[in-house]
Amino acid sequence: MKIVIAPDSFKESLSAVAVANAIERGLRHVLPRAELVKVPLADGGEGTTAALVAATAGKIYRRTVTGPLGEPVRATFGILGDRATAVVETAAASGLPLVPVNSRNPLLTTTYGTGELIRHALTHEVRRLIVGVGGSATNDGAAGMMQALGARFYDCDECLIDNHAYGGMLDRITRIDLSQLTPRLAEVEVIIACDVRNPLVGPTGAAAIYGPQKGATSKMVVALDANLHQFGVRLEQATQCKFMLKRGAGAGGGLSGGLMAIAAGKLRPGADLVMELVDLPRILHGAALVITGEGQIDSQTMFGKVPAAVATLARRVGVPVVALGGALTSDSRQVLRRGIAALASAVARPMSLETALKDAESQVQDAAERIGCWIKLGFRLAGKEGC
């Protein structure tokens, strides 16, 4: 029996590779003869680089770049196995986990480090650049990223703004000069990997919807939205690209919109893009079951998340799907109506969130072993020999 193991990462806990390995170990205890195929996935957020590099036999590169609060951080980008595609993950350089909880304030965070990673990636002879924009700590409209790529910003006195741009200072920018952008940006196809459909500004924009989870108060949200609007107008004038109200322009605190404007970036659902690049449709051929998962399965899982994308693809080829969550919410059963056959929780007993995160690997392994026991029982009930 062939079982495909295709999970996302468990955010702030386990990478997708670690989750897949833990599921494999758990299943192997009770299904020693099963063919287990691991395909770690991602949706454009944390883990996208690792998943794509692992699946394509590519290479990870590490560089020191500017973190979201301006401090140096070690971050990675990848060159895929085709040697023609680079992948940069915003979460690696400008991600929310890089900011301590008590310091989270999107008025003060920058995407400058993401721009530095892109610049490093473009030193390789690639023809395509994938930028995963999920998991950012920022709301700077891509201004920091643009600076790192050569953009120059001026204030009302025509003085060059030379500090790293951040969300709270966008209202100081009155002129944008893009004449010094790295030429390599125009030589590659830019693909923006994310599942967010929000525009840059307004009641469903980057600040209003995602600002609070990055530490913004209601007062900050108003200021951030106003700053994004002013900066967006300036950027539209500089690029002649009307991007502010485009679907997805607000992803990554406006990082998507910036890439649309300066690099003709095209939005792709992150999970679908990753599944395509790792060739999951081919891998599913002949499978009896797919086990997918993410850190928390809830009613929002079916909207662009990895388990939803896996379920949609698996349904087309007639392969049932089990979704394993670090936790299941009270509304998680809604996913059962959208192509997922069964749910399982990694947490099997009452425990604190801190304990669950600390022991996540063993919890996932134990849960996978329980799933394996149910599979064996199904074979017995069907009168068939197990694996």
The CATH number of whichever domain residue 128 belongs to comes to 3.90.1510.10
10 Å CB burial of residue 213 (0-12, 13-18, 19+) is exposed
Lowest average pLDDT, out of 186-190, 254-258, 268-272, goes to 268-272
10 Å CB burial of residue 153 (0-12, 13-18, 19+) is buried
Q: Check whether residue 256 and residue 350 sit in a common domain.
A: no
- pLDDT tens digit string along 24-44? 999 999 999 999 999 999 988
Structural domain contains residue 80: yes
Of residues 13 and 22, more confidence is placed in: 22
pLDDT at 153: 98
Q: How many residues does the chain have?
A: 387
Q: Which of 245, 270, 295 is the last residue of a domain?
A: 270
pLDDT at 76: 97
Structural domain contains residue 299: yes
User: Can you tell me the mean pLDDT for 50-66?
Assistant: 93
Of residues 11 and 57, more confidence is placed in: 57
Give the DSSP letter string of 228-282. Answer: HHHHHHHHHHHH----TTSTTTTHHHHHHHHHHHHH--EEE-HHHHHHHHTTHHH
Residue carrying structure tokens 């390995």: 21
Q: Check whether residue 251 and residue 355 sit in a common domain.
A: no
**Given pLDDT bands bounded at 50, 70 and 90, which one contains residue 201?**
very high
pLDDT at 58: 96
- pLDDT tens digit string along 236-267? 999 999 999 999 999 999 999 999 999 999 99
User: Can you tell me the mean pLDDT for 69-87?
Assistant: 97
Average predicted confidence (pLDDT) for the chain: 94
Structural domain contains residue 147: yes
For residue 86, the tally of other CB atoms under 10 A from its CB is: 27
Q: Which of 225, 242, 270 is the last residue of a domain?
A: 270
Q: Does residue 385 have a pLDDT over 70? A: no
pLDDT at 386: 56
Q: Which residue pairs, CB below 8 angstroms and at least 24 apart, start in 329-338?
A: 329/296, 329/297, 329/298, 329/299, 331/298, 331/299, 332/297, 332/298, 332/299, 332/301, 334/299, 334/302, 335/297, 335/299, 335/301, 335/302, 335/307, 335/308, 335/311, 338/302, 338/308, 338/311
**Which ranges in the chain belong to alpha helices (H)?**
16-30, 48-56, 90-94, 112-121, 143-148, 206-210, 218-239, 251-263, 270-277, 280-283, 306-316, 353-358, 360-381
Q: Does residue 14 have a pLDDT over 70? A: yes
Query: What tokens does 137 get?
Result: 């700590």
Structural domain contains residue 387: no
- Number of structural domains in the chain: 2
Q: Which of 229, 252, 270 is the last residue of a domain?
A: 270
Domain of 376, CATH number, reads 3.40.50.10350
- pLDDT tens digit string along 329-361? 888 888 888 789 999 999 877 777 777 777 899
Q: Check whether residue 23 and residue 164 sit in a common domain.
A: no
- Percent of the chain scored above 70 by pLDDT? 99
pLDDT at 13: 83
Q: Check whether residue 283 and residue 258 sit in a common domain.
A: no
Q: Does residue 178 have a pLDDT over 80? A: yes
pLDDT at 387: 61
Structural domain contains residue 386: no
Of residues 197 and 228, more confidence is placed in: 228
pLDDT at 333: 84
- Percent of the chain scored above 90 by pLDDT? 82
Q: For residues 96 and 211, is the Cβ–Cβ distance under 8 A?
A: no
Q: Does residue 131 have a pLDDT over 60? A: yes
pLDDT at 334: 85
Of residues 238 and 299, more confidence is placed in: 238
pLDDT at 288: 96
What is the spatial distance between Cα 20 and Cα 29, in angstroms, rounded to a whole number? Answer: 15
Model pTM score: 0.88
Q: Check whether residue 196 and residue 112 sit in a common domain.
A: yes
| Domain housing 293 | 2-41+279-381
